[in-house]
């Protein structure tokens, strides 16, 4: 039998009887700007080299049918809307799914002028998802192997926090390449990453393969620079993906390979500097940044130089090298101002960013007036940018308003602080309506700040409403991500406890403080450096409550534990924690007065007063009111001990301070002025000296 003749006939017969081919379907949705954004209707979605096309419906959804294609085949999509671009453009080249309902494709559409910002947000969101997935995977491994000790869990949390910190800057770099600029290998790895196949993405970025590509690029006579730059970007992508899996040592090696392959490549050294910085490896970050500075100065790339100087400023600030930080920021600012004069659309955001960094530095240096001027200029710049591009810059306006509100509160400029917080809250609420997952935490943070301010202004009803709404939001967030938001729950509980004490609602105050203390103790067991200050703050509030309730033994125990913690913290960081030592000493002094332990009370007040005076020399607006409060308490102690001369001296100095502040804010200080005047008037005359 001639099989060669029969086979074609059989094949033709099979096709002729109409056996069904396995068709493929792609379903998707188009959202505005970012994941969680509103749907975009009437967007044209088509296929390259194909007649298959459609438009999104009112819910932003679309469906494409591929009768001649199989699941797994790649298709190239085209998305059209005038003036808009696709944020996640790498996903326009996408494999057809086996189950179109379970694997719906999400495409993000934004205006052309905000592409980089929205792309950055997208990659940050996807990086955080990969980090959280890896965290849960490692947590399960520890539990199954019975190695989930407190030390191992703390180490795992630290790794997750480090990965997130590294991801924030990595997202900015991932967003820089414009559509079509990246190599095919880069895009292939990125598609795997976005499909949550991080391990597969890392595997295809094999180091040996990349080294061969680098060597081949160096040998090419034409397009060598472009080829080598593409390889370096793939090296960097490998490093960034490894970091999302907590494989930091391997990520470091990938960065080092990129730098070795191209010693004159700015992007490789800059990326490694950022990676090391975010992992608090300051000794490794510094030489990388310095090499970037040298490359930028030699090439005359002023934008790259300003970017590096800004990073150096942050690094120096993190290491408490304030003068070096200031010099770096100021040079970066000078360059960015010059660049912005020629090209404001590109460089004004950088000016505002450096202004904000400088404002934080000045605030930390207790140079409050300079910080205020810098913040106000940053705010003015962000407002200008937000007028043209609200989607990108309104969050920055709100953040700067929050910073300014905190500063004005510290300066006792309460009305100005209230205006700043109220406007920030209004913006955050608007943003949260569109994207609650991103902006609800900001709503809660601003509400908490506003609650503190209203409490300081004795507007207790308004303070209570702000705290309760902030607490409700933070509890909801903590149900989904307890390790991220439980510290915030404790913060608001602590503030609410203090407010309820002031309102004489003691049972509610006690419940709030006890819950806050329980949360903070648990957190401090695993991460004492971060959460011990919170434990001490809650103990202070609990001590006050016990004192008001005449539970003196419990009050003393709470105050003494808080004081012990604050003293330990102040040994390592006196500028930050010595004021807390003084606050606790003041509270302990009051308790000892009630217990008739007058000498112990005097020692506590005098140590607190000495500390406040030292801080008031550098920052009188913030610390002189504390000086006055402590003088007032010391005056009362002297009066009760019949030391009328010492009492008068203390009262009169306190009165002088209160009267000066009352000129700026009479509503807040009127009661203090009246009270101290009465104390001075009612003092008995000094005893005549003995004959």
Which of 500, 501, 448 has the alpha carbon at shortest distance from 472? 448
pLDDT at position 49 is 67
Tokens of 597: 């332990």
Query: Over the stretch 425-461, which tens digit does the pLDDT of each residue have?
Result: 999 999 998 888 889 999 999 999 999 999 989 899 9
Looking from the CA of 546 toward its CB, the CA atoms found within 13 Å total 20
What distances in angstroms separate CA 226 from CA 145, 183, 214, 231, 260, one per listed residue?
48, 10, 11, 9, 17
Give the residue from 71, 98, 116 where a domain finishes.
Answer: 116
Residues 15 and 112 in one domain: yes
Check whether residue 112 and residue 199 sit in a common domain: no
Confidence of residue 167 (pLDDT cuts 50, 70, 90): confident
- pLDDT of res. 224: 53
Phi-psi region of 70 (alpha: psi -120 to 50; beta: other; left: phi over 0): beta
Confidence band (pLDDT; 50, 70, 90) for 11? very low
For tokens 């044209």, name the residue: 44
Q: Is 248 among the domain residues?
A: yes
**Is there a domain that residue 255 lies in?**
yes
Supply the pLDDT for residue 469: 97
How large is the average pLDDT for residues 385-391? 88
Mean pLDDT is lowest, of 179-183, 214-218, 441-445, 479-483, for 214-218
For 672-686, give the DSSP string.
Answer: HHHHHHHHHHTPPPP
- Quote the mean pLDDT of the chain: 87
Q: Give pLDDT tens digits for 613-670.
A: 999 998 888 899 999 999 999 999 999 999 999 999 999 999 999 999 888 778 778 8
What is the reported pLDDT for 230? 77
Confidence of residue 180 (pLDDT cuts 50, 70, 90): low
Query: Is residue 229 in some structural domain?
Result: yes
CATH number at residue 94: 2.60.40.10
**Residue 144 belongs to a domain:** no
Provide the pLDDT for residue 113.
80
pLDDT confidence bin for 568, thresholds 50/70/90 = very high
Is the pLDDT at 15 greater than 50, yes or no? no
Residues 15 and 103 in one domain: yes
**Within this chain, do residues 106 and 199 fall inside the same structural domain, yes or no?**
no
What is the span of the domain harbouring residue 235? 194-262
Note whether residue 665 is domain-resident.
yes
Edge-to-edge, what's the strand order for the sheet holding 24-32?
A: 61-66, 24-32, 105-111, 84-86
Q: Which residues of 441-469 are buried (b: 16+ CB within 10 A; e: fewer)?
A: bbbbbbbbbbbbbbbebebeebbbebbeb
Q: What percent of the chain has pLDDT over 70?
A: 92
297-353 pLDDT, tens digit each: 999 999 999 999 999 999 998 887 888 999 999 999 999 999 999 999 889 999 999
Residue that terminates a domain, selected from 221, 242, 262: 262
Distances (CA, A) of 426 to 66, 165, 452, 504, 656: 47, 28, 17, 31, 39
pLDDT tens per residue, range 263-291: 988 999 999 999 999 888 899 999 999 99
Give the mean model confidence (pLDDT) for residues 539-567: 91
Residue 112 forms part of a structural domain: yes
In the listed set 202, 237, 262, which residue is the last one of a domain according to the structure? 262
In a domain, 235, yes or no: yes
Helix (H) or strand (E) holding 491: helix 482-502
Instruction: Say whether 626 sits in a helix, a strand or coil.
Output: helix
By DSSP bridging, strand 61-66 and strand 44-47 are: unpaired
Check whether residue 15 and residue 107 sit in a common domain: yes
Contact 488, 446 (CB under 8 A): no
Asked if pLDDT for residue 3 goes beyond 70, the answer is no
Q: What is the pTM of this model?
A: 0.72
pLDDT at 1 over 70: no
Over residues 141-160, the pLDDT tens digits come to: 888 888 878 778 878 888 88
Report how many domains make up the chain.
3
Is 650 part of any domain?
Answer: yes
Residues 110 and 24 in one domain: yes
Choice among 238-247, 470-479, 677-686 with the minimum mean pLDDT: 677-686
93-95, strands of its sheet edge to edge: 53-55, 44-47, 74-80, 93-95
pLDDT category at 216 given cuts 50, 70, 90 is low
Strand partners, 74: 95
């Amino acid at each position: 039998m001639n099989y060669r003749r029969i086979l074609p006939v059989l094949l033709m017969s099979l096709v002729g009887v109409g056996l069904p081919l396995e068709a493929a379907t792609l379903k998707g949705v188009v959202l505005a700007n970012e994941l969680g954004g509103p749907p975009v209707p009437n967007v044209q979605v088509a296929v390259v080299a194909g007649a298959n096309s459609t438009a999104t419906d009112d819910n932003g959804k679309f469906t494409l049918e591929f009768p001649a294609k199989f699941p797994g085949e790649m298709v190239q999509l085209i998305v059209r809307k005038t003036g808009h671009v696709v944020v996640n453009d790498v996903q326009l080249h996408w494999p057809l799914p086996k189950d179109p309902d379970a694997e719906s494709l999400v495409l993000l559409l934004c205006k052309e002028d905000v592409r980089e910002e929205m792309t950055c947000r997208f990659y940050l969101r996807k990086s955080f998802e990969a980090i959280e997935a890896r965290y849960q995977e490692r947590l399960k491994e520890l539990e199954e192997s019975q190695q989930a000790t407190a030390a191992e869990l703390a180490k795992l949390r630290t790794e997750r926090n480090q990965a997130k910190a590294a991801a924030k800057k990595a997202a900015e770099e991932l967003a820089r390449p414009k559509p079509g600029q990246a190599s095919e290998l880069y895009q292939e790895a990125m598609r795997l990453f976005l499909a949550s196949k991080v391990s597969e993405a890392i595997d295809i970025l094999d180091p040996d393969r990349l080294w061969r590509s680098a060597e081949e690029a160096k040998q090419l006579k034409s397009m060598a620079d472009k080829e080598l730059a593409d390889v370096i970007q793939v090296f960097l992508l490998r490093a960034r993906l490894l970091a999302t899996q907590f494989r930091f040592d391997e990520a470091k090696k990938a960065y080092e390979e990129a730098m070795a392959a191209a010693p004159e490549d700015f992007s490789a050294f800059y990326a490694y500097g950022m990676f090391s910085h975010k992992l608090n490896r300051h000794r490794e970050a510094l030489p990388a940044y310095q090499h970037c500075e040298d490359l930028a100065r030699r090439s005359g790339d002023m934008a790259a130089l300003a970017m590096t100087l800004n990073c150096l400023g942050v690094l120096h600030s993190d290491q408490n090298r304030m003068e070096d930080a200031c010099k770096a920021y100021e040079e970066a600012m000078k360059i960015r101002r010059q660049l912005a004069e020629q090209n404001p659309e590109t460089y004004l955001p950088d000016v505002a960013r450096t202004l904000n960094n400088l404002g934080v530095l000045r605030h930390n240096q207790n140079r409050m007036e300079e910080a205020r001027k810098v913040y106000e200029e940053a705010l003015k710049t962000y407002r200008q940018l937000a007028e043209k591009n609200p989607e990108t810059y309104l969050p920055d306006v709100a953040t700067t308003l929050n910073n300014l509100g905190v500063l004005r509160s510290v300066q006792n400029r309460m009305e100005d602080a209230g205006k700043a917080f109220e406007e920030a809250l209004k913006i955050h609420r608007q943003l949260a309506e569109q994207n609650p997952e991103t902006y609800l935490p900001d709503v809660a943070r601003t509400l908490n700040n506003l609650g503190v301010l209203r409490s300081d202004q004795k507007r207790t009803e308004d303070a209570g409403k702000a705290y309760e709404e902030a607490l409700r939001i933070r509890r909801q967030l903590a149900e989904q991500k307890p390790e991220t938001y439980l510290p915030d729950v404790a913060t608001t509980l602590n503030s609410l406890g203090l407010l309820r004490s002031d309102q004489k609602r003691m049972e509610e105050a006690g419940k709030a403080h006890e819950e806050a203390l329980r949360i903070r103790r648990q957190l401090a067991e695993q991460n004492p450096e971060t959460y011990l200050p919170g434990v001490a703050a809650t103990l202070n509030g609990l001590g006050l409550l016990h004192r008001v309730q005449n539970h003196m033994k419990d009050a003393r125990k709470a105050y003494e534990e808080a004081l012990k913690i604050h003293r330990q913290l102040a040994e390592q960081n006196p500028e930050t924690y010595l004021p807390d030592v003084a606050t606790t000493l003041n509270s302990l002094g009051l308790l000892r007065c009630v217990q008739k332990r007058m000498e112990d009370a005097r020692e506590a007040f005098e140590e607190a007063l000495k500390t406040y005076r030292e801080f008031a020399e550098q920052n009188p607006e913030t610390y002189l009111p504390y000086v006055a409060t402590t003088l007032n308490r010391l005056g009362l102690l002297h009066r009760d001990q019949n030391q009328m001369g010492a009492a008068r001296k203390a009262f009169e100095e306190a009165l002088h301070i209160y009267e000066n502040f009352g000129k700026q804010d009479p509503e807040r200080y009127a009661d203090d002025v009246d009270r101290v005047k009465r104390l001075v008037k009612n003092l008995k005359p000094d005893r005549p000296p003995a004959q």
